[in-house]
Structure formats: structure tokens, C-alpha cells
Amino acid sequence: MITPRIARMPRLPRFLRTPSAPRARRVPRPRRLPLGSPLRLLLLACSFALAGYAGVRLFAGDWRGVALWFVGAALLHDLVLLPLYAAADRAVLRAAGRAGRRPWVAYVRIPAALSGLLLLVWFPLIAGQVDRRRYLLATGLPPDGFLARWLLITAVLFGGSALVLVLRLRRAAKHRPPAVH
Amino acid sequence: MSDRRLPSSPGFWRSPLRGPWFTSVLGLVLLAGITVLFVTGLVSYAAYNPGLTPVNDQTPGKGILGFYLFDWPTRPRWLYRLTQGVHVTLGITLIPVLLAKLWSVVPRLFALPPARSLTHALERISLLLLVGGGLFEFVTGVLNVQLDYVFPGSFYPLHFYGAWVFFAAFAVHVALKLPTALRHVRRARGADGEPTPKREEGDLVSPRPDPPSVSRRGALWLVGGGSLLLFATTAGRSFDGPLRQTALLAPHGGADPGTGPGGFQINKTAAYAGIDAAETSEEAWRLVVTGRTGTVRLGRADLLRLPLHSSALPIACVEGWSTSDQWWRGVRLSDLAALVGYGDADGVPDVLVESLQRHGAFRRAGLRANQVRDPLSLLALYVNGEDLTPDHGYPARVIVPAAPGVLNTKWVARLTFGAL
């Protein structure tokens, strides 16, 4: 295993050392950004060089479009998708808390997350975004039925979750000591 | 800094799940998964034999990025079916892990100061390449599988060069973070279970967490459940019969386009390729075979008088779907080479295959000598005991073991041996 901490750099021979300024003339300078770990710097430089080599080729065509997709994907995820689902989750938690049913939140959260995941991945087909004629000509099948299948899967997920909740509640009720009359 | 309404404040992030153990586990899963994706992606690139002829090469400016290219073999005959099926299915399966990993580290996006050192500044820029590149690769791949070509350019160069940009950032990220990730996971195992992280362990742990609504293990189970669901609704597109029906939301999952011997999955119908029934008729169609000793023109009846051979081979597409073995029957490519002066089995050359299709990528394809020489490589005239259907390439198509689908040219019009 590589140790993350870098061993102290060996002292360079005298002729390779940067000559230091005479002490008497040293004046306080504004604080500069420190360099950081030289090994990390080397690794990053190597990575940027390779990324640059491939990036020149990636951007050779419609560079504006590619840049928009590349940066846009990161921004859209970090600043739109993630806050959206985090806020939705928080809203569900709060609503469940207000209703005094906080332990039940998993029974909504899990099917919603799974259904949302399927929607995210297969959005073009589910939303009917795909060029219908081209899809039909390419595969010999129309791009139909994806919305219906996603809705059915979603129904099964929520229905299954509700079933599990009911079974657990019933079992809990059975094991509860009988109420005193 | 202490204003908790700002995402740059650690107190803004309230989830009790975030912490080094959670991020490390997801990171290690991605390390293994993305490594497989990268390797199978490079393998798929090699499977096109881009070094053989410009016709096969969608990225002529690749430079040293094609350093590893090798002659794509013909055995095992399901090789491309396996590697590309793994590439696409695993990629889709990893999406929840990627999303969870990005969620687990999102506070770092907003962390201040922007840079503690030059190295730290460069590391953060590198993270843009990592996240942007990773999402770019996943998004272009997922859209291409769905035939939704909205990305800015041709899929091959975007996905290939994008992969190298991503890999450059990925490799350095692994080099910088793997020791830390391993340490966190080891420490947790030593502590017999997930540890309760302390604030000083890293900025990922919330200083004022909400009461937990799910355990870290529970959250990992949800991520795994998401992966399992995607896997279960995708993997079936690599199989025929009832298994394909399980791929409910993926193209080439669910139903087959037809019934009977030629009813299996199609990539590009005759209508798509603009193939006119008049030009494929018995009277009109002639196969032009050119080689050392000149040119031979063969009608379908002439081909049927040549020795016919059978091979059981799958169709495997770059989009990750494949069929089981189909039973093809036709003339060996090596026998056709022999007709035009390449009789010696060892002296069989490369071949340029041209389709009746007039537009679109891969209407021409180059096959290497080892592919021509393979006794299973056919110019197929029948599939599963009947004439090829128009959508599967009637009157004749190439079928080569282990080759990507698009190199199995349909509606073949011309074979030029030794031209590459």
C-alpha cells in the first residue's frame, strides 16, 4: 500500500539548490499560495497532460457543444438534480414527522427512489423523447410501451412496499401485549 | 463561515450518513466497476479493428490513444457478446453507485477556501474533469443505448475521447485517494462494523447531523437495490427467449421484432438502410468479388452451387444487446477468396466488404485476414433454416465470429480481397 504521506525529500546536491537571497535583504513579502505536495503536483500535471491530449481530440468537432455537455453534466447534477431529490426527501421526512409516522418514511422513500432511478436512466424512452420513426426503422419495433411499463413497475414497487408495511404492522400488533381493560 | 444557510458552511449539510466510511465503500466499488468499464471499452474499440482500414476507424485522429490496438481474434466466438454486454450492463448497473458517491461528497464542492495550496487548486480542477467526464461518459452511453442521438457529435469519438479525459482524472483521483479509502474501510472492519465517525475525520461528517432516518448500511442496501433493479431490467437484452422479456425498459429488450426463424433482434432494417426490394431480386442482385486474378460476378443461384457451410454465431451490438447463437448457412469467406486467386489458406488477405446501403456509417467494413480465414466466417444466405429476411440482410450478409455487429455487413454487394 502506498503511504499517503510523502517521505522527506532528499537534500539536493549543492549545485542544484536554488541560491537563497542574502539574509540581510530579506523583507516581508505578501503571503503566496503554498505549493503543496510535490508528488501530488507531479501526478496532477501528468493527468492534465493526458486529459489535454484526449481533450484536444474531444473538442475537435463541435467544441462548444461538447464543453456545454461536459461542464453542464456536472453542474446540472450538482446544482439541480441533487438539490431537487434531497429537497424532495427532506419534504417527505418532514411530512412523515408531522404526521407522527417517521418510521414509515422508508416505505415511501425506497419505492420512490427506485422508481425515480428507472425514470432517470430511461427518461428518453419513457418520456417518448426518442425519434419515433428512426427508432422504428432501426429496431423494427416502435418505441412504445415504455411509459406504461415504467408506471407498472412503479405501481408494483409502491404496492409491494405497502404490503410489507401492512404485514409488519399486523405482526407488531399481534406481538403487542393485550390492552388492559 | 458559520452561517449555516450557506452550503460553504459544514453546518449546512445535515445528513448523518455522510462520512469517510460511506464514501470509501462507494469509491472502492466504483474503482472496481469503472476499471472494468474502461478495459471493456478499450476492448470494444479494438474489436472494430480501427487500425486495419480508415473505413473501420471512427476516430482517425486518435494518435497514441490507439497504442494498445491488437488484431481482434475470432475465438471465443461469443467474445464481443461478453465484453460489450458486460460494458453496457455493468455501466447501467453502476449508475446508482455513481450517484450515491457524488451525493456523499457534494459538501466538498462548496468547501472554502477555494484553494489551500497550488496542488489543492489543481486537484479541484481535476475533480471537474472527474465528475464532468464521468457523467459525460455515463450520459452519452445511456443515450446511445436508447438511440437518442442528442449529444453534440458522433457517439464514437465523443465516448472514446471522453473516456480518456475521464480516465486521466480517474487515475490521479485513485492514486491520491485509494490509500485513504482503504484505511477507512480497514479501520471500520477492525472496529467490527461501521464506525461512528468523528468530526475531525474529515469535512464529510456533519457537525450538527439530523437524527438518522436510515443507517449507513441501510443506505448502502438501497444503492445496491437500485443497482439490482437496473441489472434485472437490463441484463435480459443479452439473451433470447423469456430472459429478453425481463429487460422491460431497455431497447432490444421485451419483444422480438418478428416471429419465426428470422424474427430475432435487428439493428437497422432494410427500410432504414434504403434497400429497395428491386435491387435484391434474384435477377438484379450480383455479388462482385474482386481479387488477385480479377473480378467474378455471382448471382444467388451461383453462390448456392458453391460448398455451403453452417456456423452457429450470435449477433452482438455495440449497444450492449446480443442474440443467442443463430444458425447461419452460406459460403465461407475463404472459399470466395479462393475464387479470385487466394487459394492457399495461409495467404488469405484482408477484405473490404461493401453493402448495397448507400449512406451511413459502416456501409463498408474491413475484415482482417484472420477473420476471413476462420472457417466459421460466412457470407450467409440462410439463417435458422430459411432465406435471410430483408431486415437481416437478404440476399447475403457477412457473419464473422466474435466481431461487433456492424462489421457483419448486410445486403453485401461487393467483396474486394487484398484491397486494404
**HEC profile of B96-130:** HHHHHHHHHHHHHHCCCCCCCCHHHHHHHHHHHHH
C-alpha cell at B412: 453485401
Nearest to B106 among A35, A82, A130 (CB): A82
Angle of helix B79-109 versus helix B216-232 axis, rounded to 10: 150
- If you count residue pairs, one on A and one on B, with CB atoms under 8 Å apart, how many are there? 220
What is the C-alpha to C-alpha distance for residues A146 and A178, in angstroms, rounded to an integer? Answer: 49
Question: How many CB atoms within 10 Å of residue A156?
Answer: 12
Same-domain status, B165 and B299 = no
| CA angle, B275 then B281 then B287, to 5° | 80
Rg (CA), chain A: 30
Contact check, Cβ <8 Å, A77/B131: yes
Closest of A6, A35, A55 to residue B117, by C-alpha? A35
Q: Measured between beta carbons, which residues in chain B are less than 8 angstroms from residue A146?
A: 249
For residue A81, what is the DSSP state? I
| CA angle, A121 then A127 then A133, to 5° | 110
Given a cut of 60, whether residue B275 has pLDDT beyond it is yes
Q: Is B48 strand, coil or helix?
A: coil
Q: Name the β-bridge partners of B367.
A: B351
Give residue for cell 481474434: B73
With pLDDT > 90 as the criterion, what percentage of chain B qualifies? 86
Residues whose CB falls within 8 Å of the CB of residue B250, separated by 6 or more in sequence, listed in order = A122, B92, B145, B233, B234, B236, B237, B321
Same-domain status, B80 and B228 = yes
H/E/C letters for each residue in A28-50?
CCCCCCCCCCHHHHHHHHHHHHH
Asked if residues B166 and B131 have their Cβ atoms less than 8 Å apart, the reply is no
Give the model's pLDDT for residue B360.
84
Letter for the amino acid at B335? D
Q: State how far the alpha carbon of B217 is from the alpha carbons of A29, A121, B417, in Å.
A: 51, 24, 60
Q: Measured between beta carbons, which residues in chain A are less than 8 angstroms from residue B144?
A: none
Nearest to A77 among B135, B171, B226 (CB): B135
Q: Measured between beta carbons, which residues in chain A are less than 8 angstroms from residue B179?
A: 1-4
Residues whose CB falls within 8 Å of the CB of residue A48, separated by 6 or more in sequence, listed in order = B122, B126, B168
Given a cut of 70, whether residue A27 has pLDDT beyond it is no
- Residue A10 preceded by cis peptide, ω within 30: no
Give the model's pLDDT for residue A1.
40
Asked if residues A167 and A159 have their Cβ atoms less than 8 Å apart, the reply is no
- Confidence band (pLDDT; 50, 70, 90) for A6? very low
H or E segment and range at residue B131: helix B118-145
Nearest to B136 among A70, A124, A137 (CB): A70
Query: Looking at residues A171-175, what average pLDDT do you find?
Result: 89
Same-domain status, B129 and B200 = yes
Angle of helix B118-145 versus helix A63-75 axis, rounded to 10: 100
Give the end of a domain, one of B207, B232, B257.
B232
Q: Name the β-bridge partners of B309.
A: B330
A139-148 per-residue burial string, b: 16 or more CB within 10 A, e: under 16: bbbebeebee
Strands (E), B31-165: none
Q: Which residue of A has its CA nearest to B148?
A: A130
- Confidence band (pLDDT; 50, 70, 90) for A3? very low
- Confidence band (pLDDT; 50, 70, 90) for A34? confident
- Residue A142 preceded by cis peptide, ω within 30: no
Given a cut of 50, whether residue B154 has pLDDT beyond it is yes
Given a cut of 60, whether residue A12 has pLDDT beyond it is no
Domain membership of residue B305 (yes or no) is yes
Given a cut of 70, whether residue A179 has pLDDT beyond it is no
Domain membership of residue B85 (yes or no) is yes
For residue B222, what is the DSSP state? H
Given a cut of 50, whether residue A24 has pLDDT beyond it is no
Cα B255 to the chain's mean position, in Å? Answer: 22
H or E segment and range at residue B331: strand B326-332
Q: Which residue of A has its CA nearest to B177?
A: A4
Give the model's pLDDT for residue B361.
83
Instruction: Among B229, B406, B410, pick the best mutation site for testing chain A contact (most A Cβ within 10 A).
Output: B229
Same-domain status, B275 and B199 = no
Give the model's pLDDT for residue B191.
62
Chain A, 87-126: which have a CB under 8 Å from a chain B CB?
Answer: 93, 102, 105-106, 109-110, 113-114, 117-118, 120-122, 124-126
pLDDT tens digits for A75-104? 999 999 999 999 999 999 999 999 988 889
Question: How many CB atoms within 10 Å of residue B158?
Answer: 25
- Confidence band (pLDDT; 50, 70, 90) for B203? confident
Domain membership of residue B2 (yes or no) is no
Same-domain status, B33 and B144 = yes
Give the model's pLDDT for residue B406.
95
pLDDT tens digits for B329-339? 999 999 999 99
Same-domain status, B360 and B285 = yes
Q: Name the β-bridge partners of B188.
A: none
Contact check, Cβ <8 Å, B118/A36: yes
Given a cut of 90, whether residue B316 has pLDDT beyond it is yes
The distance of B274 to chain A (nearest Cα, Å) reads 10
Contact check, Cβ <8 Å, A113/B226: yes
Domain membership of residue B220 (yes or no) is yes
Look at B179 and A180; give whichever has higher pLDDT. B179
C-alpha cell at A75: 453542474
Given a cut of 70, whether residue B201 has pLDDT beyond it is no
Give the model's pLDDT for residue B324.
95
Same-domain status, B224 and B275 = no
State residue B250 phi and psi, 5-degree precision.
Answer: -100, 145
Look at B237 and A10; give whichever has higher pLDDT. B237
Sheet holding B287-291, edge to edge: B294-298, B287-291, B412-417, B351-355, B364-367
Q: Is B367 strand, coil or helix?
A: strand
- Confidence band (pLDDT; 50, 70, 90) for B238? very high
Domain membership of residue B279 (yes or no) is yes
What is the C-alpha to C-alpha distance for residues B381 and B303, in angstroms, rounded to an integer? Answer: 9
pLDDT tens digits for B222-235? 999 999 999 999 99
Closest of B330, B314, B347 to residue B76, by C-alpha? B314
Contact check, Cβ <8 Å, A4/B222: no
pLDDT tens digits for A56-80? 999 998 999 999 999 999 999 999 9
Contact check, Cβ <8 Å, B249/A2: no
Same-domain status, B159 and B306 = no
Same-domain status, B45 and B186 = yes
Look at A58 and B347; give whichever has higher pLDDT. A58
Domain membership of residue B258 (yes or no) is no
Give the model's pLDDT for residue A90.
93
* ipTM metric: 0.93
Query: What mean pLDDT is reported for chain B?
Result: 93
Query: Looking at residues A10-33, what average pLDDT do you find?
Result: 54
Give the model's pLDDT for residue A59.
96
Domain membership of residue B296 (yes or no) is yes
Domain of B348, in residue numbers: 270-417
Give the end of a domain, one of B232, B248, B279.
B232
Domains identified in chain B, total number: 2
With pLDDT > 70 as the criterion, what percentage of chain B qualifies? 96
C-alpha cell at B291: 481479387
Given a cut of 70, whether residue A161 has pLDDT beyond it is yes
Residues whose CB falls within 8 Å of the CB of residue B155, separated by 6 or more in sequence, listed in order = B140, B144, B149
Query: Looking at residues B165-178, what average pLDDT do you find?
Result: 97
pLDDT tens digits for B62-116? 999 999 999 999 999 999 999 999 999 999 999 999 999 999 999 999 988 889 9
Lowest-pLDDT choice from A142-146, B356-360, B413-417 = B356-360
- Confidence band (pLDDT; 50, 70, 90) for B392? very high
Query: Looking at residues A114-131, what average pLDDT do you find?
Result: 96
Lowest-pLDDT choice from A165-174, B74-83, B94-103, B136-145 = A165-174
Contact check, Cβ <8 Å, B248/A33: no
Give residue for cell 467474378: B296
Same-domain status, B17 and B117 = yes
Query: Looking at residues B267-271, what average pLDDT do you find?
Result: 94
Instruction: Among B28, B186, B248, pick the best mutation site for testing chain A contact (most A Cβ within 10 A).
Output: B248
Q: Which residue of B has its CA nearest to A118?
A: B230
What is the C-alpha to C-alpha distance for residues B126 and B306, in angstroms, rounded to an integer? Answer: 60
Domain membership of residue B256 (yes or no) is no
Give the model's pLDDT for residue B188.
79
Query: Looking at residues B158-171, what average pLDDT do you find?
Result: 98
Give the end of a domain, one of B185, B217, B232.
B232
Same-domain status, B178 and B297 = no
Given a cut of 70, whether residue A22 has pLDDT beyond it is no
Closest of B107, B334, B309 to residue B202, by C-alpha? B107
The pairing of strands B351-355 and B364-367 is antiparallel
Strands (E), B206-306: 287-291, 294-298
What is the C-alpha to C-alpha distance for residues B164 and B150, in angstroms, rounded to an integer? Answer: 21
Give the model's pLDDT for residue A181.
54
Question: How many CB atoms within 10 Å of residue B192?
Answer: 7
Nearest to A36 among B59, B119, B248 (CB): B119
Give residue for cell 464542492: B109
Cα B416 to the chain's mean position, in Å? Answer: 29
The pairing of strands B412-417 and B287-291 is parallel
Chain A, 144-173: which have a CB under 8 Å from a chain B CB?
Answer: 145-146, 149-150, 153
Same-domain status, B170 and B299 = no
